[in-house]
């Protein structure tokens, strides 16, 4: 059931992002970069955060760079490492998309009151912790 909900969330998000030329995975990458104080993220770290393979992350990052929404930058602490940073166009796109997605998410989750939302969140956190604890077993 959880996996089915995850697919549906992805479909709903992809439908909402399509008019902007974005897919949900690229949106998540952009949000993860945007949430960092220095507006950069390493693709390897993004792989871990999103559960993507390195090859798929490379493809997703290439899409963002090709569209002008992100750029590859040399890491100042390790010149061998290349990070991803949002361009001004990428930031502008994200700032345009975020309010629309907040409104859509609010509508989707409006079937739950505040207490129900809190209970669901607590249970999902417990499930996530249990899954992570059993990952290497």
Write out pLDDT tens, residues 11-37. Answer: 999 999 999 999 999 999 999 999 988
- DSSP lists the bridge partners of residue 78 as 75
Q: How far apart, in whole angstroms, are the C-alpha atoms of residue 98 and residue 103?
A: 9
pLDDT bucket at 63, cuts 50 / 70 / 90: very high
pLDDT tens, 103-129? Answer: 999 999 999 999 999 999 999 999 999
Give the whole-number percent of the chain exceeding pLDDT 90. Answer: 69
136: pLDDT strictly greater than 80: no
> Is pLDDT larger for residue 77 or for residue 7?
7
Under 8 Å CB-to-CB from 117, ≥6 apart: which residues? 109
Q: Does domain 2-133 have CATH number 2.40.70.10?
A: no
| 8 Å CB contact between 64 and 26 | yes
């Amino acid at each position: 059931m959880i996996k089915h909900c995850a697919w549906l969330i992805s479909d709903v998000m992809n439908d909402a992002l399509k008019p902007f030329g974005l897919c949900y995975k690229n949106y998540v990458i952009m949000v993860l970069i945007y949430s960092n104080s220095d507006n950069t993220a390493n693709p390897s770290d993004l792989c871990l955060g999103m559960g993507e393979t390195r090859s798929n992350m490379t493809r997703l990052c290439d899409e963002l760079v090709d569209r002008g929404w992100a750029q590859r930058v040399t890491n100042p602490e390790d010149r061998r490492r290349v990070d991803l940073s949002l361009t001004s166009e990428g930031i502008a796109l994200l700032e345009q998309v975020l309010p629309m997605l907040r409104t859509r998410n609010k509508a989707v989750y409006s079937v739950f009151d505040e207490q129900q939302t809190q209970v669901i969140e607590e249970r999902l956190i417990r499930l996530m912790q249990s899954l992570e604890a059993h990952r290497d077993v």
